Amino acid sequence: MFTNFQRIFKSGWAVFSHSGSSNVATIFIIVITVSLITSLFLLKDVSQFLTSSLQGKVDISVYFKDGAQESDILNVKAELSKIAEVKEVNYVSKDEALSEFIQRHQDNPVLMASLAEVGGNPFLASLKIKASEASQYQAISNFLDQTLSPTYKNLIEKVDYYQRKPVIEKIFSITSGVSRVGVGFSIILAILAILIAFNTIRLAIYNSQEEIKIQRLVGASNWFIRGPFLVQGATSGFFAALICLLIFALICGIFSSKLEVLFPGLNLWNNFTSNFWILLLVQLAVGIGLGVISSTIAIRKYLKV
């Protein structure tokens, strides 16, 4: 058994070594396939980062009446923190709201003059609420309208959910659309890549059909005929995976700092290194698996072995 395996492996390596142009084409196609799948794997994390960043910019505010006590506002905050949909609640006092306004608009003389004309502190204390997902703000608004104790509800001046609702719904639509398009695009690319790789390997096997016929005439078993082509496919997939790993290491190393300037917090190189072993296993599994499966199907279906 071991001897037969050795012979098959040596025969497969010999076929691989003597099929230069065919192997280059096969490896090239598998590199493209593995690159597409690796890109989808990395872009999934990038997409999640961008989606989270977009959702992180959205919140709603609950403004309290001027006479509301801080202890009561903090009690409302505690109640909101118990809701599953709420990710984060921050208390902003009247003084903090005034300070934030001055810091943000200190270069705008018109607004600063208007603030001086009003006199005092016209701002209200508030709670800024972030939901886990953009679709959950309606549930939070319903809680404030329907479930919150009347004692605390009477302290609320307004909730700006309905003013921000169009923006929130737009963001929810965008993030949902990105997820759907990403899944659909991934499936289409994977199918196309597999079909291209399959036909490339099929062509390589087709070029050896005379040799296969001779092997059949001398009584070679199906396994002995298939074996070298499986080894050839696995070897092509192995080298393709290593080439792909090197390509993505270079891409992530070169463009990581440039992308981080555009998207602070997004570091491709850290993402690549933290997922290195998973990426390596995925690339080897896809590359070798694609080579072996395509070889198996091609030799069975098209050469009638």
Structure tokens at 236: 């092509």
Q: Determine contact, residues 42/272, Cβ cutoff 8 Å.
A: yes
Q: For the segment 142-177, what is each residue's pLDDT rounded down to a tens digit?
A: 888 888 888 888 888 888 877 777 766 676 676 666
Angle between helices 276-301 and 20-56 (to 10 degrees): 130
> Domain map of the chain by residue range?
2-54+172-301, 66-154
CA atoms within 13 A on the CB side of 36: 20
pTM of the model: 0.55
Question: Nearest Cα to 259, choosing from 154, 125, 251?
Answer: 251
Q: For the segment 27-40, what is each residue's pLDDT rounded down to a tens digit?
A: 777 787 777 777 77
User: Do the bridges between strand 156-159 and strand 60-64 make them parallel or antiparallel, or are there none, so unpaired?
Assistant: antiparallel
Q: For the segment 105-127, what is each residue's pLDDT rounded down to a tens digit?
A: 778 787 777 777 777 788 888 88
Mean pLDDT over 214-225 rounds to: 65
Which fold would CATH assign to domain 66-154?
Answer: Alpha-Beta Plaits (3.30.70)
Mean pLDDT over 265-280 rounds to: 78
CA distances in angstroms from 195 to 200, 202, 224, listed in the order given: 9, 10, 26
| Complete DSSP assignment for 108-123 | -HHHHHHHHHH-S---
Tell me the three state secondary structure of residue 159.
strand
Q: Which residues pair with 158 in a beta bridge?
A: 63
- 10 Å Cβ neighbour count for 129? 25
